[in-house]
Structure 1
Amino acid sequence: MVKYAYKPENAKKSCKARGSSLRVHFKNTRETAHAIRGMKLERAVAYLKNVIAKKEIVPFRRFTGGPGKHSQMKNLKATNGRWPQKSAKVILGLLQNAQASAELKELDTEKLFVKRIAVQQAPKTRRRTFRAHGRINAYMCSPCHVEVHLSEGHAVVPKPSSSALARK
């Protein structure tokens, strides 16, 4: 049995998916996950497909040391961004897995949104690469664990008019 980091309030109205020790970069996956947090499922899937096709960009807000500035960032409140295709494909697969789980639970997939998405670092695989003059350097990858929780959205309650508030 897999242990999840988060337990939803209403388990009957939510579904989840998890990937452990995935061979994708932690930093790219973390930024991609933060970009889709809170989105509706349909929009998140379309966004990730656009990232793979380089039509939309993933803003890098925390790990900004490497990525450069791009013109697609004009719409967002950040300056640095990338198109992490491998991370987008992995998260897209997890969203499809969670969607299949939701259909099995007979949830309305049009009302689903990304309630929570967590990315944690996994243990590094340590290798070595041989350099010139008899030296050896570390050659490590930075895998990660990804956990996705989808939940059904609540019905939108219309704001009461000011005349209804005045009558009270």
Structure 2
Amino acid sequence: MFGLSFQRLILPVPHSNLQIFLCPSPVILNCVKKKPERHSGNLQRWFATHLIPRTPQNNTRETAQAIKGMHIRKATKYLKDVTLKKQCVPFRRYNGGVGRCAQAKQWGWTQGRWPKKSAEFLLHMLKNAESNAELKGLDVDSLVIEHIQVNKAPKMRRRTYRAHGRINPYMSSPCHIEMILTEKEQIVPKPEEEVAQKKKISQKKLKKQKLMARE
């Protein structure tokens, strides 16, 4: 449609300060939107969405939950370790038939795996979001994965031919991935106010003061 020379197309959304960037890959949509103002100043969010990646939904969901809330540098290192089998992904929900793993102890769990394909997809999304956030002037070193969500996508159907004229389905379970990166707030400690220490007054003295007030 756009030819081989297509680089980037910006689509402004009417009645909004939102812009959608179409990248060369037809399945990735990225956009930037400002967060509401707070007492500490303006924060910015970076949205990254990957539509129908060819990776299992169950494995991707467990991997996404493992990196939720992580700093972008820590998440990148963790996903690289998963591909090299140095760290595992704890399987908490879709754990039927998942074997036990010693590396899962650091997560307070017993079952874990190394979903390489899911880790590579999420790693690609992090790199994409990081480079685009840097282009927009966000502080990359303070980006945190505030939100990540994996939803089921329509199943893709194939078929295999069996004996006696039978046909069995080959179904894949792809997913939609949604990720939001946010600049981490700098927490400024509240100055300690000098609280005047109240002197303790004895019960006897209180009664005396009440009598004096009545008189």
Give unpaired runs (5+ residues) of structure 1: none
Give the secondary-structure state (helix, strand or coil) at the position aligned to 1:22.
coil
Distance change in 2, residues 1:66/1:8 (3 Å) = farther
- Give the Å deviation of 1:79: 1.3
Distance change in 2, residues 1:165/1:25 (3 Å) = farther
**What CA deviation, in whole Å up to 9, does each residue of 1:30-52 have, x standing for no partner?**
00000000000000000000000
- Give the Å deviation of 1:8: 6.8
Over the aligned positions, Cα root-mean-square deviation in angstroms equals 2.4
Tell me which protein shows more helix as a share of its residues. Answer: 1
What TM-score, normalized to structure 1?
0.88
Give the secondary-structure state (helix, strand or coil) at the position aligned to 1:31.
helix
Distance change in 2, residues 1:101/1:56 (3 Å) = same
Structure number with greater CO (CA < 8 Å, separation at least 6) is 1
- Give the Å deviation of 1:74: 1.6
Distance change in 2, residues 1:160/1:61 (3 Å) = farther
Aligned partner of 2:146 among 115, 119, 128? 115
- Please tell me the residue identity of whatever aligns with 2:35: E
Q: Which residue of 2 aligns with 1:91?
A: 122
After superposition, where does 1:36-47 map in structure 2 within 5 Å? 36-47=67-78
Number of residue equivalences = 164
Deviates more, 1:120-129 or 1:54-63: 120-129
Counterparts of 1:101 and 1:142 in 2: how far apart (Å)? Answer: 29
Distance change in 2, residues 1:47/1:165 (3 Å) = farther
Counterparts of 2:190 and 2:114 in 1: how far apart (Å)? Answer: 39
Counterparts of 1:136 and 1:165 in 2: how far apart (Å)? Answer: 80
Deviates more, 1:21-30 or 1:129-138: 129-138
Matched, 1:144 2:175: yes
Q: Which residue of 2 aligns with 1:9?
A: 35
Matched, 1:102 2:133: yes
Identity %: 48
Give the secondary-structure state (helix, strand or coil) at the position aligned to 1:110.
helix
Matched, 1:50 2:76: no
Q: Which residue of 2 aligns with 1:35?
A: 66
Give unpaired runs (5+ residues) of structure 2: 1-10, 12-19, 21-28, 37-41, 198-215
What TM-score, normalized to structure 2?
0.69
Contact 1:19/1:94 (CA < 8 Å) preserved in 2? Answer: yes
Distance change in 2, residues 1:108/1:124 (3 Å) = same
Distance change in 2, residues 1:137/1:8 (3 Å) = farther
Give the secondary-structure state (helix, strand or coil) at the position aligned to 2:65.
helix
